[in-house]
């Protein structure tokens, strides 16, 4: 009977309730999308491995490190393997086609990143071809690339037109794996550097280090940096997660604004639902007075009003969550190039549910208190 009464009360003013549900649905949808954008920003951090370290120049990423450091790093206790890479920064056709591309130590790099899944025959073809490259499946789909296609990157850091042959297309093992990157042989880049930019030859952007145990990562990082202390190119070694967080920190102000806006949206819809409940209770004060004369206490009235508010909030939240899934799909299709990893996580859904329930509870506080404390005579005077 109570549930039936809640539904009747909630939809007594159908237009008002429907408008409130629509507003709540839109607010929960917007909250979910904004939180998903924040998750996408941190996707690289979430996909980091606890057993990988990154060593770069202590001054800045723009300063390279000698390739000779690689063999020295191998001697550090706790180091399992070492690979190197250099940010290439090439452009495909024009600037709007930007994507991450690196010159890497092919065998060592692929061995260190098992989350990049590619067929063995393609892997071998890439390793054997100096001009070969590996591309992510999302990147290949974006440009329509197939195995064997020749593509040309225009260098920005390293000038010229660089011809590469697509030898392998990798898939991400996990949802947090970025499948929009391109990797090619560092030797191909180094040959050019020896001819045209001799001072940068046999230098790399950074080293990837795998450690035997995640617990050894801090001590290993410290040992690596101590090895090159007071050298002409000192190093900074940090976990892969910390390395990724360094990039996120560059846009921290934007992230704070997005997170703030997501919560402001919830506060606004909380005020809207509270107004709806206040109007509903004000119209029924006479009825609540009758309930009191029949022996129903204030706690029962509070239960009715809180239940009605939660019912509206749950329905609106459910609709908002259902709408978030297609909205994320549309977002991914149209803006996937800017957010390589963009999916609705279970954590975001939980936040949406928590936000919806919070709206229902907070919005009912004042109306339920008003109904529970109003004198019977005053409530009767509002009838008619």
d(CA 164, CA 186): 12
pLDDT tens digits, one per residue of 4-52: 777 787 778 888 888 888 989 999 999 998 888 888 777 666 667 788 9
d(CA 156, CA 158): 5
pLDDT tens digits, one per residue of 312-344: 889 999 999 999 998 888 877 776 666 667 778
Q: What pLDDT, on a 0 to 100 scale, did the predictor assign at position 187?
A: 93
Q: What pLDDT, on a 0 to 100 scale, did the predictor assign at position 48?
A: 72
Q: What pLDDT, on a 0 to 100 scale, did the predictor assign at position 123?
A: 94
Spans of all domains in the chain: 2-43+251-381, 59-233
Q: Which two tokens stand for residue 178?
A: 């970025």
Phi, psi of 53 (to 5 degrees): -120, 160
Q: What pLDDT, on a 0 to 100 scale, did the predictor assign at position 61?
A: 82
158: closest CA among 89, 231, 233, 204?
89
Question: Hey, which bits of 45-159 come out as E strands?
Answer: 52-57, 65-66, 79-87, 91-92, 101-104, 116-117, 132-136, 150-155
Q: Which two tokens stand for residue 36?
A: 């998903």
Q: Which two tokens stand for residue 322?
A: 């259902």
Residues of the chain with pLDDT > 90, as a percent, come to 37
336 DSSP 8-state letter:
T
Q: What is the DSSP string of 8-72?
A: HHHTSSHHHHHHHHHHHHHHHHHHHHHHHHHHHHTHHHHT--TTEEEEEESS-TTS-EETTHHHH
d(CA 106, CA 130): 10
């Amino acid at each position: 009977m109570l549930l039936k009464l809640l539904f009747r009360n909630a939809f007594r003013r159908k237009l008002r309730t429907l408008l409130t549900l629509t507003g709540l649905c839109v607010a929960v949808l917007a909250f979910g999308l904004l939180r998903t954008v924040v998750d996408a920003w941190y996707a690289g951090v979430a996909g980091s491995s606890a057993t990988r370290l990154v060593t770069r120049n202590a001054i800045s990423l723009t300063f390279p490190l000698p390739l000779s450091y690689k063999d020295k790093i191998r001697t550090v206790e706790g180091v399992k393997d070492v690979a190197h890479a250099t940010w290439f920064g090439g452009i495909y056709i024009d600037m709007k086609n930007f994507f991450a591309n690196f010159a890497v130590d092919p065998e060592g790099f692929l061995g260190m990143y098992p989350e990049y899944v590619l067929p063995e025959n393609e892997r071998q073809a890439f390793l054997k071809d100096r001009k070969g490259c590996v591309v992510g499946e999302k990147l290949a789909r974006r440009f329509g690339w197939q195995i064997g296609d020749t593509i040309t990157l225009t260098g920005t850091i390293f000038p010229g037109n660089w011809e590469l042959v697509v030898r392998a297309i990798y898939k991400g093992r996990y949802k947090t794996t970025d499948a929009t990157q391109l990797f090619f042989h560092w030797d191909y880049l180094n040959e050019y550097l020896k001819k045209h930019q001799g001072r940068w030859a046999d230098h790399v952007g950074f080293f990837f280090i795998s450690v035997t145990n995640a617990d050894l990562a801090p001590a290993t990082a410290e040992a690596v940096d101590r090895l090159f202390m007071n050298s002409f190119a000192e190093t900074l070694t940090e976990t892969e997660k910390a390395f990724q967080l360094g990039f996120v920190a560059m846009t921290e102000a934007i992230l704070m604004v997005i997170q703030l806006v997501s919560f402001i949206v919830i506060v606004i819809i909380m005020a809207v639902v509270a107004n709806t409940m206040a109007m509903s209770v004000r119209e029924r004060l006479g009825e609540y007075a009758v309930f009191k004369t029949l022996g129903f206490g204030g706690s029962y009235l509070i239960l009715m009003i809180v239940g009605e508010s939660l019912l509206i909030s749950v329905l609106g939240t459910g609709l908002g969550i259902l709408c978030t899934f297609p909205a994320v799909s549309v977002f991914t299709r149209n803006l996937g190039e800017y957010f390589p990893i963009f999916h609705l996580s279970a954590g975001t859904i939980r936040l949406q549910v928590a936000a919806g329930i919070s709206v229902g509870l907070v919005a009912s506080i004042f109306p339920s208190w008003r109904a529970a404390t109003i004198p019977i005579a005053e409530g009767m005077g509002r009838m008619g």
